[in-house]
Amino acid sequence: MSRGAYSVRRVADPAPRPGLGRADFQRICENGFGDGHNSFGHSLAWFQGKLYVGTTRSNFQMVKIQAIFKNLPVDCWPVEGPDDPDGLYRELDRRAQIWCFDPKVGEFREIMRAPMVMGSQGEEVARETGHRRMVVFQGESDPAPALYVATWAVGRSPGPLLLRSEDGESFEPCSPYGILEGLPITATRVLAAFKDRLFTSPTGTRGHGVKFVINVSGNPIIYETRDPRRGKWVASCEPGFGETGNAGVFQLCSWRDQLYAGTINNEGFQLWRSDCEGEPPYQWEKVLERGAARGALNQAVVSMHVFRDALYIGTGIQNGGYDLTNDIGPAGAELLRLNRDDSWDLVMGDSRDADDGSHRVPLSGFSAGFGNLFNGYVWSLQEHDGWLYLGTMDSTIWLRYLRPVAYTEQTRAVVEGVGAERIVENEAGCDLWRSADGENWLPVTKVGFDNVYNFGIRNMVSSSEGLFVATANPFGPRVAVRKGDGWTYQDNDRGGLEIWRGHRPE
């Protein structure tokens, strides 16, 4: 079949083991390791028989003071925090943490807390506020596989770093600030191993008169190294693959001897691939564009995972599924499937005509967001024991704080007709779904493991000790609660990231 053709629906073999249900999941971390400022389980890795979790701190306190959210029509900001950047640095401990879970012991312990460094305004600041991605990789000078961690720098710190650990106990920088010397960024969003090389791409503009944008890169380039320990990185593609609409590379995934790269683009994501052979920058081929014929409502590739010899692609619109800055959304996320013959399937999403004239309907029977407008991202995908698990970001909880004027007329009619608090009480909380064949999906939880503040499944990792799931929960440590005609902040014992372990003993 030619690219873009509609594939014949397949009937896959059943999974070798029963999938994990809600009763198979146990919470092993709550309330952000006892600190509600630990908002996101932003990175996970299974290394040397243990689980490692990298946190990002005070996400909603940080978002509150950013210019793009200043005019958000809220009756009360959801969490207590400073009103200005100076307060953010003066009042909050923003030092990111790494925690380790040893299944033999059955508990977490803190391994690392980011140090303080001299900031751009002459005061000490946290070196990094987040650990955004982890990967196990062995470079040319590594005596054994090491754990590499990409960081998210606070605005006044010298910049993000790549950290490295051989033993899971000591983490040291192995790059200059900015990963590449002088690169004007705040973070790296992705790390991917492919053909004995480590690949990454920056995100978060900073400095040099450029307005900070959290998800947009001023340098939309994929970089690679054969030896991250020694820090020599080279560009493996031209900026934005030569197309100005690509504002960043959100995801990387290897499949069939090719490296696939998904972008963020306000006209709809693009998907590119390369065998990364020869001398960089390599030749890259465009596989999908215009968000697979959905346009801006598939603004970004948020997740990718290989399952049953196909590439599954989760989409989303930045800022929770409603990009007010670019007037995109609100809309639920989709799940697409790229097949070996380069045809693509709409697994979960909105029916439409494709560029080749064929009409696509969702194979799962679910419209975008699994029928929930507020499922704005397919944030994570992970195979475990023959099943594909999918985690969403669900912004329903925002209905409690946003004024109706924030929504489109159609959405506002639904909210006003049903009632914001009634929707929150019944629908808020992220989704976790599973499928044995990639087409038929069953819910594990649709309400954030019974916590309305768990608004996202940020990461998952499969291991011999079970499926580990890390949530994004920035509603801590104190959350806004309505009291009569006003609001007050109170301690939130359900705020802060959670870690859940899905495990069925033999």
Residue 134 has pLDDT above 70, yes or no: yes
What CA–CA distance (Å, rounded) separates 368 from 397? 19
Look at residue 14 in the predicted model and tell me its pLDDT.
64
Mean local confidence (pLDDT), 130-157 = 96
- Exposed, middle or buried by CB within 10 Å (0-12, 13-18, 19+), for 122? exposed
Could you tell me whether strands 130-137 and 146-152 are parallel, antiparallel, or unpaired per DSSP bridges? antiparallel
pTM: 0.95
Q: Residues of 38-74 as b/e, b for ≥16 C-beta within 10 angstroms?
A: bbbbbbbbbbbebbbbbbbbbbbbbbbbeeebeebeb
Please choose, from the candidates 426, 453, 312, 432, the residue with its C-alpha nearest in 3D space to the C-alpha of residue 21. 432
CB 15 within 8 A of CB 387: yes
User: Tokens 């009937």 belong to which residue?
Assistant: 11
Judged by DSSP in three states, 414 sits in: helix
Residue 64 is which amino acid?
K
More confident residue, 325 or 257: 257
Torsion angles phi and psi, residue 482, rounded to 5: -75, 130
DSSP assignment, residue 385?
T
Question: For 21-39, how does the pLDDT look when each residue is reduced to its tens digit (9 = 90+)?
Answer: 999 999 999 999 999 999 9
CB 274 within 8 A of CB 266: no
Please choose, from the candidates 94, 96, 98, the residue with its C-alpha nearest in 3D space to the C-alpha of residue 53. 98
Question: For 355-374, how does the pLDDT look when each residue is reduced to its tens digit (9 = 90+)?
Answer: 999 999 999 999 999 999 99
Question: For 200-210, how does the pLDDT look when each residue is reduced to its tens digit (9 = 90+)?
Answer: 998 876 653 44
What CA–CA distance (Å, rounded) separates 75 from 85? 21
Mean local confidence (pLDDT), 446-455 = 98
Say which range, 172-186, 388-402, 478-492, has the weakest mean pLDDT.
172-186
Crossing angle of helices 420-427 and 409-418, in 10° steps, is 80
User: Rg (Cα) of the chain, in Å, rounded?
Assistant: 21
What CA–CA distance (Å, rounded) separates 268 from 288? 10
Question: For 341-356, how does the pLDDT look when each residue is reduced to its tens digit (9 = 90+)?
Answer: 999 999 999 999 999 9
Residue 339 is which amino acid?
N
Percent of the chain with pLDDT over 70: 94
Helix (H), strand (E) at residue 87: helix 85-91
